[in-house]
A and B are shown apart, each in its own frame.
Chain A
Amino acid sequence: MGGRNMIVSIANNITSPLGMTTAENYAAVKAGKSALKRYEGHWGLPEAFVASLIDRSNFTDTRYTIVEQVVIHSVTKALESANIDTASPRVLFIFSTTKGNVFLLDKREKGFPQERVRLGIMARLIASHFHNPNEPIVVSNACISGVCAQIEAMRHLESGNYDYVIVSGVDIQSAFIVSGFQSFKALSPEECKPFDANRHGLNLGDAAATIIYTRKDTVSENEWCAYRGAIRNDANHISGPSRTGEGSYRALKHVLGDIDTQIIAFVNAHGTATPYNDEMESIAIDRAGLANIPVNSLKGYYGHTMGAAGILETIISMQAIDDNNILATRGFDTLGVSREINVTNQNQPTEKTAFIKLLSGFGGCNAALLMTKGGLL
């Protein structure tokens, strides 16, 4: 590693409809469970939808919105296994969200000041809940935010600006988000089928997920490192993916560098199950020389959790490798993309200890993150 610092994950949490801890979440996913359900007449929306929603009645603290409460729960749980003082100026909070408290724009919503819709205000409230003195930053980079926030954490740790960064991603669904995706005709009328020939769109999901990172000179073989990340643009279209997978391909190429791709257990793709996204990813994965590496998507378990996705899916992927497992792509049956990539349809064993998290989003943005266990590259 040539004296390079290692950026190490020391604790994490997933708060989702599948569980309130990482262990509960991983056990549910491994068993093939999903919280995707059909909702009719929900939030007064004229059109039914399938989504993975958190039971709001479990969150009763009236000081905070549902969005804030789910984040606070996730951070609190992650902190239980990390021995750090969040009141220290050496600790930074980085949040990842696309829509935060956007539901407060609805004139029927009462009980919280309208300014809470501002992401910086929400971030400050949460950081001050944990007595943190630093100005929190919020990465709002559409659906790739969760990986961007981790890359931002890596950079601030590498530079020595901070000793610990708490990265927490969240999005909680609302009429605003669901109707918007419906207007785009992007939602599947049934449970989503990533990379499948019969895929008809995505499902949305609620979640918060948190990883606490620190910087170390040396790592043990059981510790997870955020090895290298990259963000690249398609420079093609604001709401449609590139036909050549340009940004995803370039992000993959950068994180791979000159490492041997055979060390990679799997690529955990975005795999939203929209026709265009999955096709684009298959092209990018193939162009990057990863067509033989197993590819999976977790959207069939959680739906698309937006600002949480990059963090949630990184955590589940770390758990899977800790369990020597490559997870099945729930909902996938028959390959329905133009490139012959290796999409998993069942859990399978692995001895490998590295994976790539891949994401893409509106605005033509794409992100890739190479995670390695033990830092042995």
Chain B
Amino acid sequence: MMILHRVYISPDKVIVNGKALELTEKGSALLTQIYRSHIGNYPKFFKMDTLCKLGFVASELLLNAEGNRNFEPREDRAVILFNRSASLQADTNYQSTIQDSENFFPSPAAFVYTLPNIVTGEIAIRNKYFGETSFIVIEENDEKLIEQNLSVAFQDTDTKSIIGGWLDCTDEENFEANIFLMEK
């Protein structure tokens, strides 16, 4: 297995292939700043929850680093992400809509994000990836365990490359992405 490109995002830091991007915002405002300065033209971004925004901008930076983006449909690239908190932020947000029986307004727009794998779907939709998408929850950000799980994913004979790695978010201001593009 070979890692071709890597993107790291924390609330105050963005690093692409070892090089820090010069950005001024922090927390969720940082994600919007990345979107505006490096991506744009995808208004669906503003509907996403923080985990999806994080995964979206991180994967965009990763794929921009790869270059030659043509958005042609493909089945040979998988998206397999890992984290500790699953969809905790969205879960907490949805719970607040049903907590009070006097003020009970369950929201389908909030409920849809209460699954961690929605972000893998957002990345697949953006890039027309028909390949494998998966989300795995582990308690520690253990790169060895992540790599073990990614290396076996190449047993699917159609899978030639994977967007994989860590994508965790506990609330709007606390998140971490450490994702990479790898080949068999």
- Chain A residues near B91 (CB, 8 Å)? 99, 102, 105, 117, 176
Interface residue? B133 (CB, 8 A): yes
- A233's partner among B108, B115, B129 (CB-CB below 8 A) is B129
Known: A106-B95, A140-B86, A238-B118. A148 touches B155 (CB 8 A): no
- Chain A residues near B142 (CB, 8 Å)? 135
Interface residue? B138 (CB, 8 A): yes
Interface residue? B140 (CB, 8 A): yes
Q: Are A233 and B121 in contact (CB under 8 A)?
A: yes
CB-CB nearest in chain A for B155: A155
Interface residue? B114 (CB, 8 A): yes
Interface residue? A121 (CB, 8 A): yes
Interface residue? B40 (CB, 8 A): no
Known: A235-B130, A254-B158. A180 touches B106 (CB 8 A): yes
- A364's partner among B114, B125, B127, B145 (CB-CB below 8 A) is B125
- Chain A residues near B135 (CB, 8 Å)? 139-141
- Chain B residues near A181 (CB, 8 Å)? 111
- A179's partner among B106, B131, B151, B155 (CB-CB below 8 A) is B106
Q: Are A235 and B94 in contact (CB under 8 A)?
A: no
Interface residue? B66 (CB, 8 A): no
- B94's partner among A100, A180, A185, A231 (CB-CB below 8 A) is A180
Q: In the complex, how many angstroms separate the beta carbon of A106 from the nearest chain B beta carbon?
A: 7
Interface residue? A137 (CB, 8 A): yes
Interface residue? A54 (CB, 8 A): no
Q: In the complex, how many angstroms separate the beta carbon of B73 from the nearest chain A beta carbon?
A: 7
- B125's partner among A105, A179, A236, A361 (CB-CB below 8 A) is A236
- A176–B117 alpha-carbon span in the complex (Å): 18
Q: Which of A105, A156, A185: most chain B Cβ within 10 A?
A: A105
- A110–B106 alpha-carbon span in the complex (Å): 22
Known: A158-B152, A161-B148, A364-B124. A140 touches B115 (CB 8 A): yes
Q: Which of B107, B136, B142, B145: most chain A Cβ within 10 A?
A: B136
Interface residue? B183 (CB, 8 A): no
Q: Are B95 and A105 in contact (CB under 8 A)?
A: yes
- Chain A residues near B151 (CB, 8 Å)? 159
Interface residue? B39 (CB, 8 A): no
- A100–B85 alpha-carbon span in the complex (Å): 12
- A230–B132 alpha-carbon span in the complex (Å): 7
Q: Are A141 and B134 in contact (CB under 8 A)?
A: yes
- Chain A residues near B122 (CB, 8 Å)? 238
Q: Which of B99, B124, B158: most chain A Cβ within 10 A?
A: B124
Q: In the complex, how many angstroms separate the beta carbon of B44 from the nearest chain A beta carbon?
A: 9
Interface residue? B104 (CB, 8 A): yes
A residues contacting the other copy or chain, number (CB 8 A): 59
Q: Are B131 and A141 in contact (CB under 8 A)?
A: no
Within 8 A of B (CB), among A351-368: 361-365
Interface residue? B5 (CB, 8 A): no
Interface residue? A328 (CB, 8 A): no
Q: In the complex, how many angstroms separate the beta carbon of B17 from the nearest chain A beta carbon?
A: 26
Q: Are A120 and B84 in contact (CB under 8 A)?
A: yes
Interface residue? B149 (CB, 8 A): yes
Interface residue? B88 (CB, 8 A): yes
Interface residue? B29 (CB, 8 A): no
Q: Are A118 and B88 in contact (CB under 8 A)?
A: yes
Interface residue? A202 (CB, 8 A): no
Interface residue? B20 (CB, 8 A): no
- A161's partner among B104, B117, B121, B152 (CB-CB below 8 A) is B152
Q: Are B134 and A179 in contact (CB under 8 A)?
A: no
Known: A120-B139, A155-B153, A363-B115. A233 touches B95 (CB 8 A): no
Q: Are B133 and A176 in contact (CB under 8 A)?
A: no
- B138's partner among A138, A148, A184, A238 (CB-CB below 8 A) is A138
Q: Are A231 and B121 in contact (CB under 8 A)?
A: no
Q: Are B132 and A362 in contact (CB under 8 A)?
A: no
CB-CB nearest in chain B for A182: B106
Known: A118-B84, A175-B98. A180 touches B124 (CB 8 A): no
Within 8 A of A (CB), among B121-171: 121-122, 124-125, 127-140, 142, 145, 148-149, 151-153, 155-156, 158
Interface residues of A (CB under 8 A from B): 44, 46, 98-100, 102, 105-107, 117-121, 123-124, 135, 137-142, 148, 152, 154-156, 158-159, 161, 175-176, 179-185, 230-239, 246-247, 250, 254, 361-365
Interface residues of B (CB under 8 A from A): 73, 75, 79, 84-86, 88, 91-92, 94-95, 98-99, 101, 104, 106-108, 111-112, 114-122, 124-125, 127-140, 142, 145, 148-149, 151-153, 155-156, 158
A-B contact pairs, 7 of them (CB 8 A): A98-B115, A120-B84, A121-B139, A140-B115, A232-B130, A362-B115, A363-B119
